[in-house]
Chain A
Amino acid sequence: MNAFFTLVARDLRLAYRRKAEVLSALFFFVVVAALFPLAIGPEAAMLRQIGPGVLWVGALLASILSLPRLFENDWRDGSLEHLMLSPHPLGLLVLGKICSHWLVSGLPLVALAPVLGLQFDLPLDVLGMLSLSLLLGTPVLSCIGAMGAALTLGVRGGGVLIALLVLPLFVPVLVFGAGAVQAMQSGLGAQAHVSILLAMLLPAVFFSPWACSAALRIALE
C-alpha cells in the first residue's frame, strides 16, 4: 500500500515539474468548448441544448490527449521496467499511475467544466450534475485509456492510434455521462444514469490494472 502512495506522490511531483504538458490538455478543453458556440451560433436555447454533449465530448478528447503521457515518460527513462521488476504487485503500481493520471488530468476537467458550462447558459443544478457525471466518468476514461496507452507504448502514430482504439470503448461512458446531464436538464432525474456510471466505475477500477499489467508485459518483453 505504501508503494501505491509513494508512486502517486512521485507522479504528482513529476507532473508539477512538467506543468506545460498537463495545462495544454486543459487548455484544449477550454478551446474546444469555445469553438462550438463560435461555429454553431450564440443562440442561448440551442447552446443550452448542446452544452452537456459538447462539454462531455471536450472532456473526453482532452482525456485522450493526456493518455500517451501516462506510461511514455517512465518507459523512456527505464523506470517503467524497474517498476515491473519490483516485488510489488504490478496491478497495484499500475493503479497508482492511473490514479495520479486522473488527479492531474481528470480532476481538473471536473473543476473546469462548470465554469465552461456558464458559457452555455446552463443552470446551477445542471452544472452540478455535469461535475458529478464527470467526477464518476473521468476515472473510467483514465482506466480504459490506460490500457490503450499501455498497448501502444513506443508505437508509431501513438496519439491518434490510442484515440482510434479507445474511443469506441468510451462510448458507454459518454452516453450515460452526457445523458445524466441532459436528464437533469429535462427534469427527468438522473438517478439511473448516475447508478450506471457507478456500475461502470467499480469494475473499471477493479479490472483495468489487471488488463494494463497484461498490456505492459506484452509491450515490454
Chain B
Amino acid sequence: MTMRWFYYAAPQTFYGLAGRLWPWLAAIALALTMAGLWVGFGLAPTDAQQGEGYRIIFVHVPASWMSMVIYLSMAFWSVLGLTFNTRLSGMMTRALAPTGAMFAFLSLWTGALWGKPMWGAWWVWDARLTSELILFFLYLGYMALTSAIDDVRRADRAGALIAIVGAINVPIIYFSVKWWNTLHQGASVSLTRSPSMAQLMLWGMLLMALAMWAYTLAIVCYRVRTLIIERERHTDWVQALPEVAGVKA
C-alpha cells in the first residue's frame, strides 16, 4: 500500500495521473455547478426573513469552507513534505495556495455583499469575519514568502513551515477574536443559519460546495503539472513528452 503512494510521489508518474484526472474533475465540477445553481436559483424557496438576498449563501458558504479546507490541505502536504522530503509535496502546497486565497477573498467579498442588505454594514468585526480576513493574510504571506525566495527547494520548505505554523494558529486566532468580540459587544446578528434550513437550500449549498471541491482538485492537478514541467524541464522524460518534443520546428 505504501509502495503505491510513493509511486505517485514521483513527479513523472504524478504528471500522467493528474493529466488523466483533471478533465474528469473539471467536467464533474461543471455538472455539479449547474445542478447546484439549478437547485439554488430554480427550486429553493424564498426565505421568510431575507427574501431573495439569502441566495448569496450558495457561493458564500462553499467558498468559506473551501478556504479553510484548502489551508488544512496545505498544512497536510507541508507536514508530508518536511517529513519525507518529497518534491511533489511542495508543488501541491504551492498549487493550492492561489485557489485558497481566491476562496478566502470570495468569502469576504460575498460576505460583505450579504451583510450590507441584512445587517446594514459592509463589514463587522465578527469573530468569523475577522478570522477569515486573517486567513486571507496567511495565504498572502505564504505566497509572498515562496515567491521571494529564489531557490525553489528552500522556498518550498520555508513555505511549508509557515503553512504549518499558520494552521496551528488558525484556531487560536478564531478563539481569541471570539473572546475579543464577545467582550466588546459587536454584531447583533449571528452569521449561522438555524440548522432547520429548508431542504432545498441545504442541497443547493452542498452541491455548490462539492462543485467547488471538484473544481479545486481539477485546477490543482492542472497547476501541479505546470509546476512539474517548469521544474523538471531538464529531465529526459519531460523532453520526451509529446507536448514538448512534438512541436515541429
Contacts and interface: CB of A to CB of B under 8 A. Distances in A.
Interface string A119-159: 00000000000000000000000000001000110011100
A9 to B, nearest CB: 30
A175 B148 contact: no
Interface in B110-158: 134, 137-138, 140-141, 144-145, 148-149, 154, 157-158
Contacts, number: 72
B149 A155 contact: yes
B161 A151 contact: yes
B10 interface: no
B138 A218 contact: no
Interface stretch (A96-104, A107-115, A163-171): A163-171
A147 B145 CA distance: 13
Nearest to B133: A168
A161 B148 contact: yes
Contact of B179 (A147, A161, A169, A179): A179
A179 B176 CA distance: 10
B179 A168 contact: no
A171 B134 contact: yes
A211 B161 contact: yes
B11 interface: no
A171 B166 contact: no
Interface string B153-192: 0100110011001100100110111011001000000000
B176 A172 contact: yes
A161 B166 CA distance: 15
27 contacts: A147-B165, A151-B161, A152-B148, A155-B145, A155-B149, A156-B148, A157-B144, A161-B144, A161-B145, A164-B140, A165-B141, A165-B162, A168-B134, A168-B141, A169-B166, A171-B134, A171-B173, A171-B176, A172-B169, A172-B175, A176-B180, A179-B179, A179-B183, A218-B157, A218-B158, A219-B154, A221-B154
Given A169-B166, A179-B180, A179-B183, 11 more contacts: A151-B161, A157-B148, A164-B144, A165-B145, A167-B137, A168-B169, A175-B177, A176-B176, A183-B183, A211-B161, A214-B82
